[in-house]
Structure 1
Amino acid sequence: MDSVDRSQLLKGLLDIIVLRVLDRQDGYGYEILNRLRAAGFDELGDASVYGTLRRLYRAGYLSTYVQPSESGPHRKYYSLTEPGRKYLRQAREAWEDVSAKMRVLFDVPTKG
């Protein structure tokens, strides 16, 4: 039997994952990737994360600002907007609801 493709599960959760990382602290693309990898999300591709940042920005959930860098070109930082915080709260509630229901399903003894 084939193993579960974790990347497919993560695609559906990428918005909430990225928003949660930025809820703690603003960040620029490469730094956000490093934080995600430090949290154990090694399988997230650069293009997926950068695409998610652009999409969340276009949706109004993120704002950007530019900061000079001592080690190269200026960096574009991403920050949560108030609609982004609201969306994150709603997504967390939905995640907790689905998680609780999945725990019930997995904890139910199977017949046979």
Structure 2
Amino acid sequence: MENNTQLLKGVLEYCVLKLISREPTYGYEIVMNLKRDGFSDLSESTLYPLLLRLEQKGKVTVERRPSPKGPSRKYYVVTENGREALQTFQQDWEQLCKLVEKIFEEEADE
């Protein structure tokens, strides 16, 4: 995915939102989950502005929770607005994938 920065920009917000929708989580944990899932080049400096945008758009809220080590952490929690955005994105993504696959299948048939 290193060479697909523009493509990644368009979907990363929704990948992050999906992770948050599974359970409230904090920034470092999101980065580690994304890296585990193959987003190896992702850094916290990419993630935190994205989380701020999600909060400003009303797709997540922030809760301060105690940390077992050190100061409290900001946990991100998906909102109803965020869940609706995820559902819309998933439908749009599935439709787009079908269209792209169709085009690439036509090329393979030639």
TM norm structure 2 = 0.91
Aligned length: 109
User: Is the contact between residue 61 and residue 80 of structure 1 (CA under 8 Å) also seen in structure 2?
Assistant: yes
* Aligned counterparts of 2:108 and 2:35: Cα–Cα separation in 1: 36
Return the offset for 1:109.
Answer: 2.9
* Aligned counterparts of 2:42 and 2:5: Cα–Cα separation in 1: 7
- Sequence identity (%): 36
Moved more, 10-19 or 75-84: 10-19
Give the AA of the match of 2:22. R
Find out whether 1:49 has 2:47 as its counterpart: yes
| Structure 1 outlier segments of 4+, above 4 Å | none
Residue number in structure 2 paired with 1:89: 87
TM norm structure 1 = 0.90
Q: Per the alignment, in what secondary structure is the counterpart of residue 45 of structure 2?
A: helix
Q: Per the alignment, in what secondary structure is the counterpart of residue 66 of structure 2?
A: strand
Match of 1:65 among 53, 63, 66: 63
Structure with the bigger percentage of strand: 1
Q: Deviations over 1:25-76 (max 9, x none)?
A: 1100101111111111112232221111000000000011011112111000
The alignment's C-alpha RMSD in Å is 1.6
Return the offset for 1:7.
Answer: 2.1
* Aligned counterparts of 2:54 and 2:109: Cα–Cα separation in 1: 44
User: Is the contact between residue 7 and residue 43 of structure 1 (CA under 8 Å) also seen in structure 2?
Assistant: no
Any unmatched runs of 5+ in structure 1? none
Give the AA of the match of 1:6. N
Find out whether 1:18 has 2:16 as its counterpart: yes
Residue number in structure 2 paired with 1:34: 32
